[in-house]
Structure 1
Amino acid sequence: MSLLPIQSGGASLRTGGRGAVPRHVAIIMDGNGRWAKKRLLPRVAGHRQGIEAVRRTVRAAGDLGIEALTLFAFSSENWRRPASEIGELMGMLKRFILSDIDEIHEAGIRLVVLGDWRMLQGDIVELIEGAIARTANNTRQTLVVALNYGAQDEIVRVARRLAGDAAAGRLDPATIDAAMFEGGLDTQGLPPLDLLIRTSGEKRLSNFLLWQAAYAELLFVDTLWPDFGRDDLAAAVDAFAARERRFGGL
């Protein structure tokens, strides 16, 4: 499936709504295992179908005008899964980069990776570094992938760095504010998070973008991730557009 944008003149994906399209959407891609179980298939079949959902969703995000799309691909807690499943997931990650990076680049998509991904095995790190460098100057859309990511770890890393600077006399602790802290997060340089979606019906954040989600709109949908696609994302954007965001004001 091509990730290139649809040419103008086609039907709009939007079906209504009275507000703006979210600049930054994040998705907790949940339900691959349940999708496979319902079909009496091994869990890996759900993960493979989940890759197809990624392709559909990245393309739909570009068509909808979403500036940045963040996908929770592998959490720091996912290492607790069976080694065989982790191996399959890492293999699929490698194949996705090798097979899709040309189309991602041609579509004008910049790749950004969050988390402690440099702790992954060397060949995967090398592939990721190459993909990031190749797409660094693309401006049509940003695809953000969270790999070996945990929000609590991210916050601790920033706090540790600031504490070290303060202890070394490079920073006055009294000057630390929310803007300074946010500037040290993995998401620095990205638009503020507007909408966070979780698929599969679960209603929790699971240690994902805890700081960034402070004023994001949250949307929990029953669709299992392998079934998620253009219509689901369009419906989520319309739900966002219909909400009134006050950010603590009246």
Structure 2
Amino acid sequence: MEWKGRRGSKNIEDRRGMGGKTIVGGGIGGIVVLLIVMFLGGDPGDILNGLTTAPSNTEYVETEQDKELADFVSVVLADTEDVWTEIFEQEGMEYRDPTLVLYSGSVQSACGMAGAAVGPFYCPADEKLYIDLSFYDELQTQFKAPGDFAMAYVIAHEVGHHVQKLLGISDEMAKIRSRVSEEEYNKYSVRLELQADYLAGVWAHHAQGMGYLEEGDLEEALTAASAVGDDTIQKRARGYAVPESFTHGSSEQRKKWFYRGFEAGNLENGDTFGASEL
């Protein structure tokens, strides 16, 4: 992705080195559950409120890679601001920029305390995206999804959840959650997450139109979308997948909806809730 030398967002809150605590409880199994429930935009409150924290003596020191990554995510966030401001204006609405919080180790959000193990997430209660930049290494090594545009997809997906918040979709989901069983709600959650993938694709469509995409960028995003499918994550964690427990969609579904957004570039074709097939 062509990003160096371009405008970065002013809506960055740097809390790196300010965490002071680590998440305890659950061990590796807990981390896997957190990844499945929260990865790329799940609701952190339910899981995080059940965990405890302990003081951490780890001091954060910014590396050159961290500095470059911080600049990169700032540029990507600025691009999403430009794209969604224009789209909202075309629809007769006003876009409100989210804030991206950079943290190291752990962070306190309006949705609860979160550790780096949960991955990037969006908290609708404070309209902020949270990311520990060490996730970039995990994306390359653990999830086998290298490349800067893979990371851009992650950010765009979280911004997609912010778009859903502004459109009132997140609030409707909260109402549904109180009325249905966990298994039934999982089906709604999958549609919510796939829509966020679609919205990430919409952003990528416009980024391409502005000439920012390089050869191979689309493939990097599709690889990342596939790598974070529930079936792939569950098989990695326990050797098999349980479809009724999916909260984000399968690898194929995530790729499909991201690419659909990339092709369409608009809000109209992203109604995952009305789609007969995902």
User: Is the shorter-chain TM-score for this pair beyond 0.5, marking a shared fold?
Assistant: no
Comparing both structures, which one devotes a greater share of its residues to helix?
2
TM-score by length of 2: 0.27
Larger Cα Rg: Structure 1 or Structure 2?
1
